Amino acid sequence: MARVDIAPAGVGLLVRMKCRALLNQTREIVEDAPVKVFATTGFIAMIWYALYEVFWRGFAYFHIDALQSAVAIPLLFNFFFVALLVLLTVSNAILAYGSLFLHEEAAYLLSSPLRPRTTVGLKYAESLFFSSWSLLLLGLPLMMAIARVQNEPWVFYPLFLLYFVTFIPIPGAMGLILAWVIARHLPRTARRALACGACATLVITVIWGLRSVQQLDWIQEDWLDGFFARMSLIQASILPSTWVTRGIEAAIDNRVGDAVRYLVVLAANGLFLSWIAVHLVAGGFVAAYDRASATRGKLERPACAASGGFAGRLFFFLPPPARLIAAKDMRTFFRDPMQWSQLAILFGLMSLYLLNTPRFTLGDTPSRWTAIVPFLNLTAVSFILATFTSRFVFPLVSLEGHQLWLIGLLPYSRTWILGAKFSFAMVVTLSAASGVMMLASYILRISFVSAAIHWMVAASVCYGLCGFAVGFGGRLPQFEHRNAARIANGLGGTINLVASVLLIAVMLFGMGYVTWRVGDRGITTRTDGMIFAICGLVVLIGIVAGTCAMVVGARHLKRVEV
Amino acid sequence: MSEAIKLDGVIKRYGHKVAVNRLSLSVKEGELFAFLGPNGAGKTTTIKMITGLLTPHAGTVDVCGHRMGTDGLPAKAQLAYVPDQPFLYEKLTGREFLYFVAEMYRMDTASRDAALDTLIRRLDMSEFLDRLAGSYSHGMKQRVVLAAALLHQPRVLIIDEPMVGLDPRTVRTVKDLFLDITRSGGTVFMSTHTLEVAEAVADRIGIIHQGDLIAEGTLEELRARATQQHSLESIFLELTGSDDEWIDGES
């Protein structure tokens, strides 16, 4: 029997293995799906450029006036880094919980001769790596924009990047500790707790921010004092976001000494907090894993007939086979916090924005603003829906692959599967979109005709996007996968996303033209008939596109062999 | 022979449900122990406690003289665990995964390559070992995971449902591998529903039912306990009461 050296391997071995896996994955994607690489890179570049433009125009606007610039720019950075602190803490907590307490890899590493600290250290490094998207996507355009406006010297760039790099471990460590606390004390409902916590944090943050701004009397001369008094909480010296902001301010003003001092403060705190988090979580890792895995999935739910209950009644209009499948999908939707929380967060934020929109308008005078807002709402709703259908609706058909032996043997056409998926997606998306559109119409006192037209277009967008997601899901299924995220990220998912964005772009182009043509008057009963014809055409485009995709998907699904 | 695995009064609860109830059990070096039981009887929970994935609420677990929980690292260095759902890094090839495992157990290159050559040949893995593991069938994954478990020549092999997804030739190879391990002084602790395999290779058999170890011994000892039963299947059904329940249900 061979003897083994029991000195446990270090985190270096695991990092090397992960790098190798990442290299293999990159090579595989580049070789197998170059279109996906091209499309993803293109989309990231577009988003990146759009952010850069927004940041640059914003900074340029503030830069016109010296006082305005001195007040607004540090405040913007403060808001930005506070938001980043909260978001990265929550996202790191979700990532750390999944990788430490849910994935099979954690069990494998835990049964291997590795110290818990090694496993926790690896997972912490992984979540920091995944958090770095904020640097790539948000940090770089922000840096380029401010540098362009302020004509910064070269030393500003490395300092700014270092601020991001030293800042990320702080929310990372807090997220790691949060995940451990949840696993240790709330394992039974951990995912739900995380999702609810994320929703609540965002809602509270936004409400607080908006209330702070609303409660100011903008006419009084001392508004600036009042404003700063209310903002003092997010500018507290104890917050890491404040250190970054002050450091960046120093870097902008070419005070290199001060900038470096704040950088050192950030780095020291980041390292210290990381050390504490890794050691704390490693010390209680086995106990937390034990508790999380021992109670996972053991929540009992009241049974009801497959087509009964709320979910069944919701699809009363469908024939029995499709009703069964749609009701099952609806139950899955409500039992998976990742699905409903994403939709709830996006539409919740939008509703909050709408609830506060009148406060920012100047009196009750109808203006171009009132004519444009419905179009902007439609744009926001369309992109939120495209995200939802691409991520959650597209994989639905593929996920039935392992059940096709059951569903495929039923004495019904496979087309019913697509019909059921489409009905489920329409009910969810149309309910959410209608709620937001109606709220917007009520609050902004949009004319009935305009509200009805925009609602019809939103319904058509829902139809088109759901038709695309289900139709492409049937035409390009990936039955071999069980992971919805992986299916959505595959070639079919990418094609669906690109097609969905193109469809939205075409429909919004039409509605943008309408908004431009009607001007301040908005759409009323006296609007030119040509405008109504264009709106009708836009609605028709959504319906025809969605139906065509469904037909193509249904034809292919009938022939497909699993 | 000394004890390779020793459980003493182990209790594990999930909420109010007792999954494993005062389980005391020892498996000696050079022994192949088959752990049987109906679904939900507590087999996997027991295995997870032996491997250190779960912590017992009461009692102790020792592996090769090291107490799991307080002295877990030396214990884990001596054992290998193959779960019922084999885990592989999908973006590594089988060979890369095996190299990783070898390095984790601090094997030098020469002994790693020698052990790997033997395992590749015996488990017939040469065809697919250099492909990404994400493309493997269940049987291929099972073979690679088994190779990873045996690579560092562990003193104790814990294996949950070893034969699921394997073709008859590989089943035969795995049985031979188990026998080789026990002949060279190693210990195999196997949980299985495949009673023929247990009957063919196990030195001793334990039957767990609703968290209690209801029978333990050699096949002959179990036969002696059961009334006029000859096959392990009949003994298992009689001891776990499944036979009667099935007949009652049918009637």
Q: Is B21 within the bounds of a domain?
A: yes
- Per CB-CB distance under 8 Å, the chain B contacts of A107 are 53, 83, 87
Phi and psi at residue B165, to the nearest 5°: 85, 5
Q: Is B125 within the bounds of a domain?
A: no
Q: What is the pLDDT of residue B246?
A: 39
Q: How far is CA A203 from CA A198, A210, A346, A361, in A?
A: 9, 11, 10, 22
- Contacting B residues, span 145-184, partner chain A, CB-CB under 8 Å: 152-153, 155, 184
First vs last C-alpha separation in chain A: 46
Q: Do B51 and A111 touch (CB under 8 A)?
A: yes
Copy the structure tokens of residue A414: 């496979």
Q: Do B153 and A2 touch (CB under 8 A)?
A: yes
φ/ψ bin of A309: left (φ > 0), alpha (ψ from -120 to 50), beta (otherwise)? left
Q: What is the pLDDT of residue A561?
A: 66
Rg (Cα) of chain A, in Å, rounded? Answer: 26
Pick the residue from chain B with its C-alpha nearest to A104: B87
Identity of the highest mean pLDDT range in A174-178, A350-354, A484-488, B135-139:
A174-178
Q: Hey, how many other C-beta atoms are within 10 angstroms of the C-beta on A298?
A: 11
3-state secondary structure chain B: CCEEEEEEEEEEEECCEEEEEEEEEEEECCCEEEEECCCCCCHHHHHHHHCCCCCCCEEEEEECCEECCCCHHHHHHHEEEECCCCCCCCCCEHHHHHHHHHHHCCCCHHHHHHHHHHHHHHHCCCCCCCCEHHHCCHHHHHHHHHHHHHHCCCCEEEEECCCCCCCHHHHHHHHHHHHHHHHCCCEEEEECCCHHHHHHHCCEEEEEECCEEEEEECHHHHHHHCCCCCCHHHHHHHHHCHHHHHHHHHC
Q: Do B76 and A111 touch (CB under 8 A)?
A: yes
- Concatenated DSSP letters of A450-508: HHHHHHHHHHHHHHHHHHHHHHHHHHS--TT---HHHHHHSHHHHHHHHHHHHHHHHHH
Tell whether A380 and A527 lie within a shared domain.
yes
Residue A408 CA to chain centroid, in angstroms?
35
Q: What is the pLDDT of residue A2?
A: 45
Q: Is B115 within the bounds of a domain?
A: no
Which of B55, B87, B96 has the CB atom closest to A290's CB atom?
Answer: B55
Identity of the highest mean pLDDT range in A42-51, A313-322, A461-470:
A461-470
Which of B78, B81, B132 has the CB atom closest to A24's CB atom?
Answer: B132
> Per-residue pLDDT tens for A383-405?
888 888 888 889 888 887 766 66
Tell whether A421 and A524 lie within a shared domain.
yes
Q: What is the pLDDT of residue A309?
A: 66
Judge whether residue A189 has pLDDT over 70: no
Under the banding of pLDDT at 50, 70 and 90, the label for residue A311 is low
Q: What is the pLDDT of residue B56?
A: 92
Under the banding of pLDDT at 50, 70 and 90, the label for residue B244 is very low
Q: Is B70 within the bounds of a domain?
A: yes
Judge whether residue A6 has pLDDT over 90: no
Averaged pLDDT for residues A443-448: 78
Domain housing B80: 3-87+155-250
Q: Is B227 within the bounds of a domain?
A: yes
Phi and psi at residue B21, to the nearest 5°: -120, 110
Residues A543 and A549 sit within 8 Å (Cβ to Cβ): no
Judge whether residue A462 has pLDDT over 80: yes
Q: What is the pLDDT of residue A535?
A: 92
Pairing, β B204-209 against β B187-191: unpaired
Averaged pLDDT for residues A317-345: 74
Q: Do A112 and B76 touch (CB under 8 A)?
A: yes
Best CA proximity match to A266, nearest among A186, A171, A353: A171
Provide the sign of the torsion angle of the four alpha carbons A57, A58, A61, A64, taken in this order.
negative
Pairing, β B66-67 against β B58-63: antiparallel
Which of B12, B73, B85 has the CB atom closest to A6's CB atom?
Answer: B73
Tell whether A31 and A158 lie within a shared domain.
yes
Tell whether A373 and A504 lie within a shared domain.
yes
Tell whether A274 and A337 lie within a shared domain.
no
User: Which of A71-80, A228-237, A499-508 shows the lowest per-residue confidence on average (mean pLDDT)?
Assistant: A228-237
Mean pLDDT computed over every residue of chain A: 80
Q: What is the pLDDT of residue A362?
A: 43
Which of B52, B89, B106 has the CB atom closest to A4's CB atom?
Answer: B106
- Contacting A residues, span 275-304, partner chain B, CB-CB under 8 Å: 286-287, 289-290, 293-295, 298
Judge whether residue A204 has pLDDT over 50: yes
Residues A536 and A453 sit within 8 Å (Cβ to Cβ): no
Pairing, β B79-82 against β B156-160: parallel
Pick the residue from chain A with its C-alpha nearest to B98: A17
Q: What is the pLDDT of residue A385?
A: 87
Copy the structure tokens of residue A503: 């469809």
Q: Do B76 and A286 touch (CB under 8 A)?
A: no
**Rounded distance, CA A308 to CA B229, Å?**
48
Q: Is A16 within the bounds of a domain?
A: yes
Pick the residue from chain A with its C-alpha nearest to B47: A111
Judge whether residue B108 has pLDDT over 60: yes
Test mutation, A3, A5, A6, chain B, max B CBs within 10 A: A6
Chain B interface includes A112 (CB < 8 A): yes
Under the banding of pLDDT at 50, 70 and 90, the label for residue A221 is low
Copy the structure tokens of residue A84: 């980043």
Judge whether residue B243 has pLDDT over 60: no
User: Which of A320-324, A542-546, B2-6, B44-48 shows the lowest per-residue confidence on average (mean pLDDT)?
Assistant: A320-324
Q: Is A380 within the bounds of a domain?
A: yes
Residues A106 and A185 sit within 8 Å (Cβ to Cβ): no
- Per CB-CB distance under 8 Å, the chain A contacts of B132 are 24, 28
Q: What is the pLDDT of residue A458?
A: 92
Which of B14, B105, B155 has the CB atom closest to A113's CB atom?
Answer: B105
Q: Which of A295, A329, A345 is the last residue of a domain?
A: A295
Which of A4, A22, A293 has the CB atom closest to B77's CB atom?
Answer: A4
Question: Could you tell me what percent of chain A has a pLDDT over 70?
Answer: 78
Assign residue B169 the CATH number of its domain: 3.40.50.300
Under the banding of pLDDT at 50, 70 and 90, the label for residue A500 is very high
Tell whether A414 and A284 lie within a shared domain.
no
Pick the residue from chain A with its C-alpha nearest to B184: A1
Residues B87 and B127 sit within 8 Å (Cβ to Cβ): no
A175 strand-pairing partners: none
- Per CB-CB distance under 8 Å, the chain A contacts of B52 are 110-111, 286
- Per CB-CB distance under 8 Å, the chain B contacts of A294 are 12, 14, 54
Tell whether A187 and A41 lie within a shared domain.
yes
Domain housing A152: 11-295
More confident residue, A463 or A325: A463
Which of A20, A111, A293 has the CB atom closest to B52's CB atom?
Answer: A111
- Per CB-CB distance under 8 Å, the chain B contacts of A108 are 83, 87
More confident residue, B34 or B240: B34
Best CA proximity match to A347, nearest among A432, A440, A424: A432
Judge whether residue A518 has pLDDT over 50: yes
Q: ipTM for the complex?
A: 0.83
Averaged pLDDT for residues A519-542: 83
Identity of the highest mean pLDDT range in A235-239, A341-345, B3-7:
B3-7
Q: What is the pLDDT of residue B248?
A: 41
Averaged pLDDT for residues A195-217: 64
Q: Is A291 within the bounds of a domain?
A: yes
Q: Do B53 and A21 touch (CB under 8 A)?
A: no
Tell whether A61 and A168 lie within a shared domain.
yes
- Per CB-CB distance under 8 Å, the chain A contacts of B145 are none
Best CA proximity match to A106, nearest among B192, B153, B89: B89
Instruction: Kindly report the nearest CA distance between residue B207 and chain A, in angstroms.
Output: 22
Report the number of distinct structural domains present in chain A: 2
Q: Is B192 within the bounds of a domain?
A: yes
Instruction: Kindly report the nearest CA distance between residue B85 and chain A, in angstroms.
Output: 9
Q: Do A20 and B96 touch (CB under 8 A)?
A: yes
Tell whether A259 and A335 lie within a shared domain.
no
Instruction: Kindly report the nearest CA distance between residue B54 and chain A, in angstroms.
Output: 5
**Rounded distance, CA A66 to CA A139, Å?**
24
How many CA atoms within 13 Å lie on the side-chain side of B39?
0
> Per-residue pLDDT tens for A543-558?
999 999 999 999 988 8
Q: Is B150 within the bounds of a domain?
A: no
Pick the residue from chain B with its C-alpha nearest to A287: B55
Start-end of H helices in A4-113:
11-32, 34-63, 66-97, 104-110
Residues B45 and B19 sit within 8 Å (Cβ to Cβ): yes
> Per-residue pLDDT tens for A127-151?
888 877 777 777 888 888 888 888 8
User: Which of A201-210, A302-311, B225-234 shows the lowest per-residue confidence on average (mean pLDDT)?
Assistant: A302-311
More confident residue, A313 or A419: A419
Tell whether A291 and A327 lie within a shared domain.
no
Q: Is A308 within the bounds of a domain?
A: no
Q: Is A456 within the bounds of a domain?
A: yes
Q: Is B177 within the bounds of a domain?
A: yes
Residue B207 CA to chain centroid, in angstroms?
14
Tell whether A278 and A398 lie within a shared domain.
no
Count CB pairs under 8 A between chains A and B. 91
Tell whether A174 and A252 lie within a shared domain.
yes
First vs last C-alpha separation in chain B: 49
Report the number of distinct structural domains present in chain B: 1
Which of A5, A286, A290 has the CB atom closest to B106's CB atom?
Answer: A5
Averaged pLDDT for residues A78-107: 85
More confident residue, A510 or B14: A510
Which of A2, A17, A289 has the CB atom closest to B100's CB atom?
Answer: A17
Best CA proximity match to B12, nearest among A295, A319, A231: A295
* Cα angle: A225, vertex A227, A228; to 5 degrees: 65
Q: Do B104 and A108 touch (CB under 8 A)?
A: no
- Per CB-CB distance under 8 Å, the chain B contacts of A6 are 73-74, 77
Q: Hey, how many other C-beta atoms are within 10 angstroms of the C-beta on B184?
A: 12
Best CA proximity match to A81, nearest among A16, A167, A3: A167
Which of A13, A21, A108 has the CB atom closest to B92's CB atom?
Answer: A21
Q: Do B89 and A21 touch (CB under 8 A)?
A: yes
